């Protein structure tokens, strides 16, 4: 009984983390920007302890980096990091695709839904941030095919890094229709049971994504912070 009920317990720290994450993803804080404890505490209106804890989780999530005695700053992904994230993504998503034959029906459905969502978002031509989210959702669902929460959590961490990087990069302009088509191919191959081909398609897609991200990272979007 009451299985559907849930109650959101949000601590102050959690809300601070959410707010900081949002600011990072929305590009309000450029990579490398130092996150000063007292300044943030004053700005947000909480104590330094709370900020400190929030910064700790941000660092744990890889969205920020801490240098001992010098504070934490917004993480800025170098080319090497992008490549590293690419390898990690490839590993996780390949595992998901390879698990298709033995995947739970619910996980397969989740993937189908994520793709449908992505298609719809792309067609309705909404905000690019939403599109990114929907796109990442498909890739997340791929990992979900493994049926492992831990792998999903790892995928989420990687996705967060990607979103952070994407927020500070000149618009990655690729034909979104073409993108959707590429994913549809992948899905179709899976539905047809051709795992081998799906893996190849995935690898191809990820390689393209990585090179275009590397390309984009070279020409960072001009921001206020740059000219101060």
Partner DNA sequence: TACTGTCGGATTGTCAGACAATCCGACAGT
Partner DNA sequence: ACTGTCGGATTGTCTGACAATCCGACAGTA
**Which residues would be at the binding site for a copy of itself (CB under 8 A)?**
9, 11, 49, 52-53, 56-57, 60, 68, 84-85, 87-88, 90-92, 94-95, 98, 146-151, 154, 158
The one of a copy of itself, DNA, none whose footprint includes residue 154, by CB under 5 to 8 A per kind, is a copy of itself
Smallest separation, CB 102 to DNA (Å): 38
Give phi and psi for 140, each to the nearest 5. Answer: -60, -40
Contact 201, 189 (CB under 8 A): yes
Supply the Cα-derived Rg of the chain in whole angstroms: 19
Looking at the Cβ atoms of 49 and 127, the one nearer to DNA is 49
The one of DNA, a copy of itself, none whose footprint includes residue 182, by CB under 5 to 8 A per kind, is none
Asked if 33 is part of the footprint of DNA (rule: CB under 7 A), the reply reads no
Cα–Cα distance between 26 and 22 in angstroms, integer? 6
Nearest to 38 by CA among 47, 27, 29: 47
Cα–Cα distance between 84 and 66 in angstroms, integer? 20
Looking at the Cβ atoms of 151 and 189, the one nearer to a copy of itself is 151
Question: Contact with DNA (CB under 7 A): which of 13, 77, 141, 216?
Answer: 13
């Amino acid at each position: 009984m009451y299985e559907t009920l849930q109650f959101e317990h949000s601590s102050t720290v959690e809300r601070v983390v959410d707010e900081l994450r949002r600011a990072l993803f929305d590009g309000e804080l450029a990579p490398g920007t130092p996150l000063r404890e007292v300044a943030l505490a004053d700005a947000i209106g909480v104590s330094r302890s709370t900020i400190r804890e929030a910064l700790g989780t941000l660092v744990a999530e890889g969205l920020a980096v801490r240098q001992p005695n010098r504070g934490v700053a917004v993480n800025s992904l170098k080319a090497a990091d992008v490549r590293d994230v690419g390898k990690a993504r490839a590993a996780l998503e390949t595992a998901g695709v390879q698990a298709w034959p033995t995947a739970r029906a619910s996980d397969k459905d989740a993937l189908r839904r994520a793709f449908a969502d992505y298609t719809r978002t792309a067609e309705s031509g909404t905000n690019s941030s939403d599109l990114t989210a929907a796109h990442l959702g498909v890739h997340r669902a791929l990992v979900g095919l493994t049926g492992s929460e831990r792998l999903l959590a790892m995928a989420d961490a990687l996705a967060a890094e990607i979103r952070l990087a994407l927020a500070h990069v000149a618009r990655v302009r690729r034909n979104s229709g073409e993108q959707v088509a590429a994913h549809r191919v992948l899905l179709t191959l899976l539905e047809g049971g051709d795992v081998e081909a799906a893996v190849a398609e995935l690898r191809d897609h990820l390689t393209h994504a990585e090179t275009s991200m590397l390309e984009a990272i070279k020409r960072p979007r001009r921001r206020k912070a740059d000219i101060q």
